[in-house]
Amino acid sequence: MSVDPESLGQSSSLSSVIDLSMEMESETIIPSESSVMVAKQKRERLRASGASGEDYISLSVSKRSDFSQGPHPESRLMREDDELGDADDGMYTVLLYRPTNVKKKSRKAEARKLREEMNEMIVDAEEQDEETMEWEEEQLRRGGMRVEELAKEALKLTYKPAPIPAVTPIPTLGASIARLTQSLTSLTTSHAEHSASMAKLGEEQRQLESREKDMREMIAKAEEKRSWFSAFREWVESVATFLDEKYSQLEKLEDEHVSLLKERADMISQRRLTEDEDDLSLFFGSLPESQSTPTEELDDLGRIVQRANPAAVRRDRLTARRARRSRRAADRAQTEEEGYSTDSSLPPLDAADYKLATGNLALKAREIMSDVKAEEFKNPDVGLSKWFGEWRARFGDSYTGAWGGLGMVGAWEFWVRLEILGWSPLEQTRSLDSFSWYGALYVYSRPGELQDDEEPEMGPDGDLLSAMISTAVIPRICKVLESGGFDPYSAKEVKNLVDLAEQIEVSVGKDTAKFEALLKSAFTVFQAAVRVTDGLIPRYLSLNKPRFDPEAIPARRRFLMRRYKLLRNIIQWRKYSGEKFGIGSLVTELVSGCMLPVAESGWEVGGGDCMRKVL
């Protein structure tokens, strides 16, 4: 198919116009030299073959050969006479050259005007006149492209009548009523289902509202709990800091009290031992100098201390003992047998020093809390009871799960140990319930209302008194007993020990490990007293040097009566404690190993009478 050069020219001019209109929107593409040469060659071939081609169809109404080609038809330059329009059109360069100093509004107006002109050109190019349309139709008809239209015209239409609908029976009343009944039933069922669904949704809504209310309350309680525990934690940290600072001072004073008791007990035990040696020397004979005299003693300057005559020292001790006995007899209405009255008192000067030391100890104990100003640290009933009681009342589950009662006992232990500091339970008749901590813990363990006729019910913690006694009181008492706070020769202290053990038994029970430790401590003291005598007698029995001395008979009686009193104290304690830790064997050892050999050496002069008391 050949192409008309003029149509190509028009197309190229139109394309150039469109390209100029898109100049603002796209970048200019400069073709390469090879592409330009290919395009020129193609145009030349089309021009050469356009006029001679048989299938060439010209789109222009007239041919170029119909017009005058001028004197130089081969020239491509346009003459001034051939220009269409005015010659001033060549001076119009708005599309190619636009001034750069035009303002923004003028540029927009020019662009809009250019677009309108382009649209008009496109519309004009698409318009076709009637002659062109007829010519195109003729060309299509000649080419055989309208066969379907001829087929439609040749098709003969036939008449087809409309189908007659089938006969519909007339509805009856029964069928209508049945349909209405069925519809009513379905509506009733649907209404019931919808009502049930609405009721269910309403119930779910109420449940959700109730759950939302519970969740809000739970969140409020959780926030309240968090804030309270935050304050409680700060208070506990302050208490921990306080205890870290004060505990070392308290333990130092406790050790000082134990050292005082031990020093006093050593003085009394040493004096009692020397008196036993003096009595044994009177009726068994004196030990050799190498056995009775220890190594030489030196003074502060390294000089040897001259020892006095043992017989003279023995007489001095006997005189001092008689003086002490006479002083005690003057203070008492009943006079006891010599030897049975256990001499456990200190000399006046030593007694004054001991009293002064215990007074200084009590003063130091008060100085521990002298720098404390807050009442909740001075009195645990104000601080500990308040916080732990509020914890138990507001958050009982958390309190029980965390063993809050035992935690409070552990914190309260400091104040309990501070209050019983310097307390000698066997010398003083003060009972446990006379301490302030005892009453405070008793009330805390029973949070119910106090009634006149019956005791209030126990709280969820149980009896915290037993926990405190087991934790703080019993270990302290055991240490006091083993360090010299218990004289096994004193019937008064044994009686006080039994009373104290009964009080502790009521609180902690008799079969607990802590109570067994208390019984063990008492047995240890009795055992130590028996072992001292048991180790002393064999040395004098091996001498076998009895001598006639007027003081031998009362000396034997004194020695046996001291052992007899120790035996009675052990038996009195055994009545309470029972046969534990081999206390029966200890009694047998005391009678057969300590008393019987001495009694047999002077059976007719007092030994037999003493053994009859034992039996």
Reading phi first (left if > 0) and then psi (alpha if -120 to 50, else beta), residue 97 is in beta
Cβ-Cβ contacts under 8 Å for 582 (sequence gap 6 or more): none
Burial class (CB in 10 A: 0-12, 13-18, 19+), 408: buried
The predicted model gives 599-605 an average pLDDT of: 79
Q: How many residues does the chain have?
A: 615
Which of 271-285, 379-393, 542-556 tops mean pLDDT?
A: 379-393
Mean pLDDT value across the chain: 78
Check residue 19 and give its pLDDT: 47
Question: Quick check: 514 and 447 in contact, CB under 8 A?
Answer: no
Cβ-Cβ contacts under 8 Å for 511 (sequence gap 6 or more): none
Q: How far apart are CA 528 and CA 158, in angstroms?
A: 145
Question: Quick check: 473 and 420 in contact, CB under 8 A?
Answer: yes
Q: How far apart are CA 76 and CA 69, in angstroms?
A: 10
Q: How far apart are CA 44 and CA 47, in angstroms?
A: 5
Question: Quick check: 410 and 470 in contact, CB under 8 A?
Answer: no
Least confident piece of the model among 3-12, 268-277, 415-424, 552-561: 3-12
The pair of three-digit structure tokens given for residue 227, joined into one six-digit string: 């804030």
Question: Nearest 5°: phi and psi at 371?
Answer: -90, 5
Q: Residues 71-104: pLDDT tens digits?
A: 555 665 555 555 555 555 555 554 444 555 556 7
User: What CA dihedral angle connects 251, 257, 258 and 264, to 10 degrees?
Assistant: 170
User: What CA dihedral angle connects 470, 474, 475 and 476, to 10 degrees?
Assistant: 130
pLDDT band at 208 (very low <50, low <70, confident <90, very high): very high
Give the H or E element holding residue 437.
helix 436-445
The predicted model gives 429-453 an average pLDDT of: 81
User: What CA dihedral angle connects 419, 425, 428 and 433, to 10 degrees?
Assistant: 60
The predicted model gives 272-287 an average pLDDT of: 80
Check residue 17 and give its pLDDT: 41
The pair of three-digit structure tokens given for residue 510, joined into one six-digit string: 């008799």
pLDDT band at 606 (very low <50, low <70, confident <90, very high): confident
pLDDT band at 519 (very low <50, low <70, confident <90, very high): very high
Q: Residues 230-260: pLDDT tens digits?
A: 999 999 999 999 999 999 999 999 999 999 9
The pair of three-digit structure tokens given for residue 504, joined into one six-digit string: 């502790």
- Of 427, 485, 264, whose CA–CA distance to 356 is shortest? 264
Check residue 540 and give its pLDDT: 80
Question: Quick check: 391 and 404 in contact, CB under 8 A?
Answer: yes
Check residue 518 and give its pLDDT: 92
The upper half-sphere exposure of residue 452, i.e. CA atoms within 13 Å in the direction of its Cβ, equals 0
Reading phi first (left if > 0) and then psi (alpha if -120 to 50, else beta), residue 215 is in alpha
pLDDT band at 451 (very low <50, low <70, confident <90, very high): low
Question: Quick check: 378 and 366 in contact, CB under 8 A?
Answer: no
Burial class (CB in 10 A: 0-12, 13-18, 19+), 343: middle
Which residues on adjacent β-strands are paired with residue 304?
Answer: 298
Least confident piece of the model among 299-308, 329-338, 448-457: 329-338
Q: What single letter denotes the amino acid at residue 530?
A: V
pLDDT at 444 exceeding the cut of 50: yes
Burial class (CB in 10 A: 0-12, 13-18, 19+), 306: exposed
Helices (runs of H) and strands (runs of E) counted in the chain: 22, 0
Check residue 256 and give its pLDDT: 93
Q: How far apart are CA 358 and CA 420, in angstroms?
A: 13
Give the H or E element holding residue 120.
helix 104-126
The pair of three-digit structure tokens given for residue 310, joined into one six-digit string: 């043992």
Of 366 and 275, which is predicted with more confidence? 366
Q: What is the DSSP letter of 65?
A: G
Check residue 93 and give its pLDDT: 52
pLDDT band at 201 (very low <50, low <70, confident <90, very high): very high
Give the H or E element holding residue 189.
helix 173-284
The predicted model gives 558-586 an average pLDDT of: 89
Q: Residues 12-35: pLDDT tens digits?
A: 444 444 444 444 444 557 778 888
Q: How far apart are CA 82 and CA 62, in angstroms?
A: 17
pLDDT at 118 exceeding the cut of 80: yes
Q: Residues 30-72: pLDDT tens digits?
A: 778 888 888 888 888 877 765 555 555 555 555 555 555 555 5
Check residue 134 and give its pLDDT: 77
Check residue 339 and give its pLDDT: 47
> Cβ of 213: how many Cβ atoms within 10 Å?
10
- Taking each helix axis as running N to C, give the angle between helix 33-50 and helix 5-21, from 0 to 180 degrees, rounded to the nearest 10: 150
Q: Residues 288-327: pLDDT tens digits?
A: 655 444 455 555 556 665 555 555 555 666 666 666 556 6
- Taking each helix axis as running N to C, give the angle between helix 5-21 and helix 104-126, from 0 to 180 degrees, rounded to the nearest 10: 150
pLDDT band at 149 (very low <50, low <70, confident <90, very high): low
The predicted model gives 215-243 an average pLDDT of: 91
Q: How far is the CA of 563 from the CAs of 274, 341, 365, 568, 610, in angstroms? A: 15, 12, 39, 9, 10
Q: What is the DSSP letter of 595?
A: I
Q: What single letter denotes the amino acid at residue 319?
A: T
Check residue 91 and give its pLDDT: 54
- Beta strands, E only, 154-249: none
Check residue 64 and give its pLDDT: 55
Of 614 and 9, which is predicted with more confidence? 614
Give the H or E element holding residue 47.
helix 33-50
Q: How far apart are CA 480 and CA 518, in angstroms?
A: 11
pLDDT band at 415 (very low <50, low <70, confident <90, very high): very high
Q: What is the DSSP letter of 460?
A: T
Of 606 and 318, which is predicted with more confidence? 606
Question: Quick check: 2 and 50 in contact, CB under 8 A?
Answer: yes
Residue percentage of the chain with pLDDT more than 90:
23
Check residue 292 and give its pLDDT: 44
Question: Quick check: 404 and 461 in contact, CB under 8 A?
Answer: yes
